[in-house]
Structure formats: C-alpha cells, structure tokens
A and B are shown apart, each in its own frame.
Chain A
C-alpha cells in the first residue's frame, strides 16, 4: 500500500510538473494537460501494438522496448503540447486569464474526442489494453517476506531519474535559466535577449514530455486506457501542484508524493475509520476536499513563494 502510494505519488508528481511549469511561465491553468498525459498513454500502447504486429515484441530486449515506448510517448506528447500552445494559447496572450482558461478547457474536451475519433477509425475501439510484458508482471523479492512488483519499481525508478534530470535541466543549464527568467518576468527577460515565445514553447514541450512519460507509465502500470481516463489524474495532479505551491518545481514533486500517499492511505483506511460507512469510493472526493482546503487556507501551498498578484 505504501508502494501504491509511491507509484501514484510519482505519477502525480510527473503530471503536476506540466501544470506547474506552464503556470510558472504563463500564469494560467493548462487544463488540457490531462489530455497530453492520456496522449502519452495512447502513444505507448500504439507503439507496443505496432511492435507486436511486426512480431518484434517477443524478440527485443524488454529494456529496449520500454525505453523506446517511453521515448516515443515523451516526444509525441511534448510536440502535442507545443502545438496546443501555438494553436490555442498563443493567440490569446495578453487577454484576461479566464479567456485562456476557457480556451484550455475547450482544448481539453476537443482532444479527448479527437483521440477517440482517431482510435475509433484506426482500431474501431477506444478502450485499449496494453499488451502484457512478462517482465513487468514479475515480483522482485527484496527481502525474505517482501516482494515488489517490477512494474511499480520501474515507475519509481523512471520517475526518479526524470525528476532528477529535470531538476538539473532547469537549474543548471542555460536554457533552464532562460525558463526561470521568463517565469520571473517575461518583459525583462525579453529585454535581456531571451526569445520569450520560444522559451514558452520549450516549457510546453518539457511539461508535455513529462506528462507523456507519466501517461506511458500509467498505461504500463494499470494497462487500461481510454480517452477520458485523464480527467481524474489531471485534476489530482493539479491539486498536487497547488499543494506544493504552484509555479514551484520541487513543490510539485513534493505535492505529488504527499497527495499520492494520502490517497492510498485514504483508500485503505477510510472504511476502517468510519466503520465501513464511507469506503474507498470516496478517495476522489478526498482529493478534491484537499484541493478546496488548500486553496482556501493556504493558497501558496506547502513550499509556496508568495504568488505574484497578477491581473485578474
């Protein structure tokens, strides 16, 4: 159960990064990020299907297959996020924040059905099952009475690696510095010769790639995907981003972990605590309540810096 919590937590953390990075740069909620996440899951399953149909799935080394799937998911999700920014958000720069939010909601709905349309025409169904990879279903004995499923371990290791990579990228490289500069003050950044629009697009790419990675991991771990499965994880990841302090990258990671663990514990203990009156089916409600509570009592989040008072 602790493990479930960790897996969930890392997934939320990965998705939350997309929300938080975009919020940091543009100060608006990229509502369609949950669809970028689902897109990653679909790319993953399609790549696996293609490999399977070509008969390579059984032959190739599983580690190679996994990295291929993950790379494809990240690339396509990242590109999709960039395209989304170009089409649905850039024309709205400078307009009130709610306008962009409404456009983002529209984009989210549009993408859900676009995915469904594509899969319907392509496979004649839009509920897809990941082909099973034998390696992932094995248990890895860590101690005498403790065995860990390989797939959970894979999620945790991949997520840790990419979070570390992202941290390095944002804090230690020139491009990362540019992203942080734009997040702090786009106008000054542009005066300093930073191509703001390109940096924004890049932010979307990185955030989208993280979302896509989360999508692939989600698919590999839970194996069933449909175009609408992004909504709940999306909202929870947003909660995680807010919990950690939106716009704050370590905050998003922390928030994701806290929320994932809370949810896993709530799912298993809620019914014990209330004598079976309220069971695990309330775990979604629980996440929303956390969100509402934080927004009301501590909108800055756990690691929050004071949020700039933007134009409302």
Chain B
C-alpha cells in the first residue's frame, strides 16, 4: 500500500516537474526539479523494479525530450555525466585505496589530447602524408586506445611515486599534473604536437553510424539536434559502464585488497596483500576511466586547449568525491551531480540575476543603511566565477563536520 502510494507520488512529481520544465524552458529551477526526481528515486520506499523503470523513464526519455527543446538542459546533463564519470574514477584511487591523487586531471588531459591530435588536422604537423584528421569511425577505437593509454600513464606515474607517504604522494601527483599541463602548453616547438596554448580545433565528432537506420524509419533529424542527444547517450552509456565496472571491482578480490590497504597498509601487507601492485592497479583503473572520459570530452568540445585541464579541475573532482563520501559509488554520483549543478546552474543563474539587477539600476533601500543603487554593484562581482570558493568551502566544511561524506559507503551492513 505504502509502496504504491510512493510510486504514484513519484510519478506525479516527475510528470509535474517535466511539465514545469517544458512550460518554462528558461527556468533553471524547473530543470533542477527534474534532476531532483532522480535523487528522490533513491530514497522513496518503492519496489526496486518500479524505481528502475522510473529512472529509465527520466534518463532515457524525459531528459532527452526536454533537451531537444532546450539544448542547454542537455548540455548540463552531459557535463554532469562527464563529471560523474571522473568522480567515479577518482573515487577508486581516493576512496577505495585512500591515496590522495591531486593530479587526476592529467589523465583526463591525456585522453582528450589523444583524440584531439589524431582526430584533427593537428597530427599532420608531425606525421607526414596528410592522413589526418582520421575519419570519425576511428573514434571508438581511440576510446579503447585511451583506456590503454590511461592505464599505461597511470602505471608509469605510480611506479616511482607509490612508495611515498600519503601527503608527499599528493604533492607529487599535483606536480605531475602541472608537468603534463606545462608540456602540453609548450609542445608546439620544436615539433608542433599539441599546438601549445592556442589549443586544437576542429576535433572530429563520433560517427553517426545509426543515421541510415533513422532514415529508414523516416526520421529526419538535423545534425545540430542529433549530436547533443548522441553525446548525451554516449556519456550515459559510459557512466553506466563505469558504474558496472566499479561495482564489480569493489566486491572483487582487488576491491577488498584496496580497502584493506586503505584501512591499514601495514596489516594488509602482513596479510599477504601485494600493496604496491594493488595500488598500481588502482592508479591504472582510475586513470583509464579519466582518459576515456577525456576522449569523449574532446569530441564534444570540438576545441580544447590546456586551460581546460588546470589544477582547479582536479580539486573540483576531489570536492565531488569528498562531498558524496569517499569510497561510495552513489556518493560520487551525487557529489558530482550536486557540484556540477551548483556551478553550472545555480551560480550562473545568480550571476544572470545580479546582472539583471545591475542593468535595471533599481535602488535598494535598506533600513538603517540607507539606499544603494544597484547599478553600482561592481562588475567584477560575478558568482559564476567563484568556483574555487565553492570547492574550498566544500572541502573545509566536509572535513570538519562530516569527513565521511553525505552518502558514506555502507560497509558495516555487509558484514
């Protein structure tokens, strides 16, 4: 009885929020309500089957549907997907094994540049013959390559540094990421490989292999609406794959070894866990996720430059993992979604609102303080540019008040 009421309530909520988002296509709040329905899904006492159906309804039908009418929604959804995937990758290293990796963005950059260089005319600069850009069909092959490349660089970085103690490891990974960024930034000479700070464009998009089928069914969709949808589903697929792999890993021999290392490295070593090798695996797996996401990111952005891979990105992903709860898969997803929404929607919304106020030039009259013309608000004050403050606050507050995160891993229940 209770369950059916809950399911019905959920359905009503989802329907209502979608209607709202559809009627007010510019409203940030309406889309937030749609996104919140997924969160609600986790907590409402309804049968698992119904929850899965409802989640599928929201993810596979409603969001793409809303997205075709308002491309911005889809863009937000894609960004969230990318960060969820990154957070899940970092969660393996930070959450499962307890190694603080501050240079996670380096692997993301490596993946992105891998496809960017070969999927654009850029590679012609150092490989003669004019083979490039590679045709879009190579995209999926490069997705595979990137997983290998990520695993390889992860291992290469891990080999020397994993013997270091926790905080030194953090600084060295940070240094590694900065080195990678500096190299990308400067490798436009002597041979032009990365085109330096100018970045690379245009990068090939993934192939529309399904277009004939769509035409077969008589659907004529313009490429400009098709591509965002396509990316949305690609990201969704990638996230689902990563969740699947992570869950399987978590309960495997490897996952248990990781957690043993996190809890007590000495004890784990004494019990015969090959500590360094297990840490290397974690580095490699996390790095390969990030690298694969990087390929997708490059293809989506069409243009990338080293600015997309700064230290701030690493910290942003770290903040997501920590907000959600280290070592918890739902936590990483929630954290990534929350922080991305905060950055992309709430802060931007606030900025727009302030800009509106500034232009309206209204007078704000406060008791005791006198009146203040809103047009005098300094133009530099834009909440959307204060991501660092948000990340910083998240990190400090979480560490002081709730170090285990919002959704900590349920490890006691399983024993």
Contact = CB atoms under 8 A, between A and B. Distances in A.
Interface residues of B, number: 50
B186 A282 contact: yes
B172 A295 contact: yes
A234 to B, nearest CB: 11
A50 interface: no
B367 interface: no
Nearest to A124: B378
Contacts of B274: none
Contacts of B102: 105
B307 to A, nearest CB: 13
Contacts of A102: 100, 318, 322, 395, 399
Contacts, number: 138
Given A117-B389, A120-B381, A107 B179 contact: no
Give the secondary structure class of A's interface.
Answer: helix
A109 B378 contact: no
Nearest to A35: B392
Interface stretch (B66-74, B146-154, B162-170, B204-212): B162-170
A215 B150 CA distance: 39
B179 A285 contact: yes
Nearest to A110: B392
A29 interface: yes
Nearest to A289: B179
A159 to B, nearest CB: 25
A28 interface: yes
Given A98-B170, A109-B389, A117-B386, A88 B396 contact: yes
B394 interface: yes
> Which of B98, B311, B388, B403 has its CB near the most chain A CB atoms (within 10 A)?
B388
A224 B394 CA distance: 30
A103 B396 contact: yes
Contacts of A100: 399
Interface in B169-189: 170-172, 174-176, 178-179, 182-183, 185-186, 189
Contact of B380 (A28, A124, A235): A124
A277 B391 contact: no
B272 interface: no
Nearest to B177: A288
A88 B400 contact: yes
Contact of B388 (A92, A95, A110, A276): A110
A291 B171 contact: yes
A250 interface: no
A81 B57 CA distance: 52
Give the secondary structure class of B's interface.
Answer: helix
Contact of A295 (B168, B312, B387, B392): B168
Contact of B100 (A98, A120, A289): A98
A204 interface: no
B269 to A, nearest CB: 12
Nearest to B185: A281
Given A29-B171, A235-B178, A292-B172, A97 B392 contact: no
A10 interface: no
Given A29-B171, A102-B322, A117-B381, A296 B392 contact: no
Interface in A261-312: 276-278, 281-282, 284-285, 288-289, 291-292, 295-296, 299, 312
A282 B182 CA distance: 7
A125 interface: yes
A12 interface: no
A235 B170 CA distance: 12
Given A98-B98, A102-B318, A282-B182, A111 B168 contact: no
Interface in B311-344: 311-312, 315, 318-319, 322
10 contacts: A101-B166, A102-B322, A120-B380, A120-B381, A235-B174, A235-B175, A277-B189, A285-B179, A291-B171, A291-B172
Given A103-B399, A235-B174, A291-B171, 13 more contacts: A88-B396, A98-B170, A100-B399, A105-B102, A105-B318, A110-B388, A124-B379, A276-B190, A281-B186, A285-B178, A288-B175, A288-B178, A296-B161
